[in-house]
Amino acid sequence: MASRRASERLIQTGNVEINGAVVTHPGARVDPDGDRVCVHGQPVRAVDRQTYVLLHKPPGYLVSARDPHHVRTIYQLLRGIDVRIFPVGRLDLDTRGVLLLMDDGDLAFRLTHPRYRVEKVYRAWMRGHPNAVALTALREGVKLGDGTSAPARVRVVRARDGNTELELVLHEGQKRQVKQMCAAVGHRVQCLTRTHFAGLTTRHLRLGQWRHLTQAEVKRLREQVGLV
């Protein structure tokens, strides 16, 4: 019902009761299922007890709970989260950028299902310059291991010194999709970043840092996939 800072002020000024007793210590713990919390005498309920996290994934961290080859996993970056949360889709070991994790299976399913047309934006760096035929093929669809890629928005961000940076906007997430698409037109991706997922970016997060989504962000995600 209020920001963290405003909530602390409410607590410190004696406006919050747990089971009928005023608490003034912001670290007081409550059991959302058993305790009765009142603010200004009115009961409040936990609106959202699920956990939604945005991680700025660095390269070199595996998106997996297990670590079969002794590489680092993203869970080593998520210290302080004491519930089990699952990645929404995957990023390759060497890919960096926006990775959402949550314990909300319905939302995660819809965010990754192509039917809901959630936008994922990637920046891919490669040697050489994809020509007009290659760019058209990337936009219209190229053959992948499991079928054909769906139409995508693709633009050249920079083409200089024999290298090209492409931006690709996709609504699906087949395995290693961007790398497969670029390979299909003769270019190996050297470096890949996911800059946006469903409108969320890594703004204000350094590589390896994470934050909880705000309630407004969760609401927007749910609206995007028709979960309202």
Name the residues annotated as catalytic.
92
Contact between 83 and 116 under an 8 Å Cβ cutoff? The reply is no
x/- track of binding to ligand URA for residues 46-65 (CB under 6 A): --------------------
- Give the DSSP H or E segment for 59: none
Give the pair of three-digit tokens for residue 38: 């009142």
How far is the C-alpha of 114 from the C-alpha of 136, rounded, in Å? 21
User: Which of 113, 129, 176, 196 is the binder for ligand URA (CB under 6 A)?
Assistant: 176
The answer to the question of residue 112 lying near ligand URA (CB under 6 A) is no
* Nearer to ligand URA (CB atom), residue 176 or residue 219: 176
How far is the C-alpha of 91 from the C-alpha of 137, rounded, in Å? 23
The answer to the question of residue 92 lying near ligand URA (CB under 6 A) is yes
Contact between 76 and 194 under an 8 Å Cβ cutoff? The reply is no
Strand partners, 194: 97, 122
Cβ 120 to ligand URA, closest distance in Å? 7
How far is the C-alpha of 187 from the C-alpha of 207, rounded, in Å? 27
Task: Give the interface segment with ligand URA, choosing from 131-139, 159-167, 170-178, 210-218 (CB under 6 A).
Answer: 170-178
Task: Give the interface segment with ligand URA, choosing from 10-18, 53-61, 127-135, 174-182 (CB under 6 A).
Answer: 174-182
What does the binding site for ligand URA look like in residue numbers (CB under 6 A)?
A: 91-92, 95, 176-179, 192
